Structure 1
Amino acid sequence: MTNLGDLEIFSRVIAMGSMSAAGRALGLSPAVVSKRVKRLEERLGTRLFQRTTRQISLTEAGQGFYERIVGILAGIEEAEAFVSGRSGVVRGSLRISAPTSFGRMHIAPHLKGFMDKYPELVVNLILTDDFSDIVGGGFDLAIRIGELSDSSLVARRLAPVRRVLCASPGYLARRGVPATLEDLAQHVCLPPHTQDVWRLEGPDGSVTYRPHGPLYTNSSEVVSEAVTSGMGIALRSTWDVGPALKNGELVQVLPDYEGSRNVVLSAVYPSRQFLPVKVRLFIDYLAELFGPLPYWER
C-alpha cells in the first residue's frame, strides 16, 4: 500500500508548484521531497511529473492520479479534525485562484487577518484572469466573477457585483454626454476582449449592446487605466472603479443602465462530501468580509 505521507508530499508539490516550496511548507529538504516523490513513482510504475530546469508539471498519469486522491486526502483531513475536535487548528496549504485585479485589490490586503488567525496554514494565491481548472490545477477553491453555470463544482455566492457605464470628465467634455443607449455608437467604447456584448439592465428590462472601440485587451486593469485616462466609455465593476467614482476621476453615464444582475462574486470548489475545514473557513472569512452590501458600495 502506498504511504499516505508520500501522497501528502505529492499533493503539496502540486499545490505549491515546486518541490522546494513544498519542502519549506512541510519542513523537509528538497532532496527528501524529491526522494519521496521518486519512491511513489517507482511504486506506481509511472512518472507523475515532467521535470525541467525551470518548472515541474503533471504527466497525464499524474493528473489522473491526483484527481483520484485529492478527495481522499481532504476526507482524511476532515476526519482528523472531527475526531480530535481541533477544527480551529488549521494546518497544511490552501491553494486559491482569483481574478488578477480583484485579488490584488480585495483579497491580498485582507490575507493577513486570515493568516493571523491560522498561523499554521500556508496560503498560495494564484492571480489569473483565466478560468482555472480547479481540479486539474490543484486548487482548493477559486474566486470567480461571472454568471454561475451548472457544473460539477459547488459555488457559494459571496457578494453581488454592480457594473456601471462610466467615463472621465475630460472625455465627456470633449465628446459630450450620451443621453440614450443608441448614442454610444458615436462614442469610443472600451470593452475587454472577453465582452463581445454588454448585457445591461435598463428601464425596459434586459438589453444587449455590442460595443466598438480602438482598444481590445485581455487585461481588465488596462481597461480601467484607459477609461480613467479619458480614452472612452467602459462598463466597469464598482469594486474596481468605486474610488474613482467617489473622487470624481470618473463619472457614471446612462445611470438607468447597469450590468446584468446575474453576475456575482462566488467561491467555487470541487464537489465533495466533506468540505475541508481550511476551505470552509476561508470562504466564511470572505463571505463575512464582503456580504450582501460589500464595503466598496458603502
Structure 2
Amino acid sequence: AISQQLRKLEEDIGQQLVNRNSRHLSLTEAGRIYYRTSKELLATAQQGQQEIDALLQSPSGELRILAPEGFGGGLLSKPLRQLLQSSERISVAVTLGEGYDDIVASGADLALGFTPVDKEGFKSYQLATWSQVLCVAQSHPLSTESLSHPEQLKEHPFIVYDHLPAHELSGPDDERYLLAHPKLSVNSMQALIQFTVDGLGFAVLPQKEVQHYLANGELVELLPDWQLPDYQVFAVVANYPTMSVKTRQAIELLESYFTIL
C-alpha cells in the first residue's frame, strides 16, 4: 500500500523520488528536497496548532477591541490593566470611534457599544446598565436657576449627540416630557461633553463619562426629580464555535468592572 501511494505521489509531481532495487531504497535529489520541505511544513503546522491550542487554554496573543470614543477617557484603564497583568503573553490594541465597525473585516476580537447587534454571525453580551444625566456647565446661567419643570428649559440651547436627537423625561406623577428641537447637534459624544463643559448649552450625557465633571463642579445636574431612561453597554463578538480565553476573560473583566462603577 505504501509503495502504491509513493508511485501515485511521483506521478502527481512528475518526479521520481526514490531509487529502487531489490535490496535498497534511496532518495533521489528530488526526493531529498521533497522530504526536507515536507518536514518543515509539518513542523510549521504543528507549531501553528500549538499556538491555536494556547489561545483556547490561556490568555495569549493580541486582543483587538473596538470601543466608542468615550471609553478612552479612563473607563477601560482598570479592566485592561488587570487583563495585561494576568498574562505576559497578551497584548491589547484599542481602536476608538463612533458606533460599531465591521468586527470581522477589522479583525477585532470584540466591540463595545450601546446596542446589541441583531445579525446572524454575531453574539452580544450585556455588560452593564448605566444612567444618563441632564446637565449644564456651572458657568451657564441655567446652573443657578430654580427649575421645577423641563418647560423652563425652552429658553436655553439644547445640544445633542446626533444619533439621539430627543430624550423623554419622566417626572413626578408619571408625567412625561419630550426634550427635542436641539439648537446644536454633533456626531461625537466627546465633542458633546466638551461643548457642554464649555457652556454652549444643556445636554443629556452618559453619567459614567461625566461623573468627574459633576464631582468637581464643572457640570451641574438639572431637574434631578425628573428621570431619564437608562442605557445598556454591550460587548459584541463574532459568533464562532469557540471563543479564545483572552476574549472571554476580557468580557468577564469588563462586566465585573462596569457593573460596580
Q: TM-score, normalised by structure 1?
A: 0.63
1:202-213 maps to which residues of 2 (within 5 A)?
202-203=171-172, 204=174, 208-213=178-183
Equivalent in the alignment of 2:113:
144
Contact 2:137 2:196 in 1 (8 A): yes
1:176-215 maps to which residues of 2 (within 5 A)?
176-203=145-172, 204=174, 208-213=178-183, 215=184
Post-superposition CA distance 1:65-103 (Å, at most 9, x none): xxxxxxxxxxx7898259xxx83x322221110011213
TM-fit CA distance, 1:264 = 0.7
Contact 1:162 1:258 in 2 (8 A): no
CA distance in 1, matches of 2:72, 2:50: 27
1:41-56 maps to which residues of 2 (within 5 A)?
none
Task: Answer 1 or 2: higher relative contact order, Cα 8 Å, separation at least 6.
Answer: 2
Task: Report the secondary structure of 1:282's partner residue.
Answer: helix
For the pair 1:164 / 2:137, whether they are aligned, the reply is: no
Question: Over alpha carbons, which structure has the higher Rg?
Answer: 2
CA distance in 2, matches of 1:112, 1:176: 42
Equivalent in the alignment of 1:275:
243
TM-fit CA distance, 1:258 = 3.3
Contact 1:93 1:124 in 2 (8 A): yes
Post-superposition CA distance 1:95-135 (Å, at most 9, x none): 11001121332114542321121221121111111321112
TM-fit CA distance, 1:194 = 1.8
Question: How many residues are aligned here?
Answer: 211
Alignment RMSD (CA, Å): 2.6
Contact 2:143 2:220 in 1 (8 A): no
For the pair 1:265 / 2:233, whether they are aligned, the reply is: yes
Question: Which ranges in structure 1 are unaligned for 5 or more consecutive residues?
Answer: 1-75
What is the identity, as a one-letter code, of the residue corresponding to 2:130?
Answer: V
Task: Report the secondary structure of 1:275's partner residue.
Answer: coil
CA distance in 2, matches of 1:149, 1:177: 42
CA distance in 1, matches of 2:171, 2:117: 23
Task: Report the secondary structure of 1:166's partner residue.
Answer: strand
CA distance in 1, matches of 2:51, 2:241: 10
What is the identity, as a one-letter code, of the residue corresponding to 1:98?
Answer: A
1:39-78 maps to which residues of 2 (within 5 A)?
none
CA distance in 1, matches of 2:68, 2:117: 17
Structure richer in strand, relative to its length:
2
Post-superposition CA distance 1:114-163 (Å, at most 9, x none): 11212211211111113211122221100112x43533321112121200
What is the identity, as a one-letter code, of the residue corresponding to 1:219?
Answer: S
Q: 245, 266, 290: which one pairs with 2:258?
A: 290
1:30-109 maps to which residues of 2 (within 5 A)?
80-81=53-54, 87=57, 89-108=58-77
Between the aligned residues of both structures, percent identity stands at: 27
CA distance in 1, matches of 2:143, 2:135: 15
Shift in CA distance, 95/193, structure 1 to aligned 2, threshold 3 Å: same
Shift in CA distance, 160/206, structure 1 to aligned 2, threshold 3 Å: farther
Q: TM-score, normalised by structure 2?
A: 0.71
Question: Which ranges in structure 2 are unaligned for 5 or more consecutive residues?
Answer: 1-48
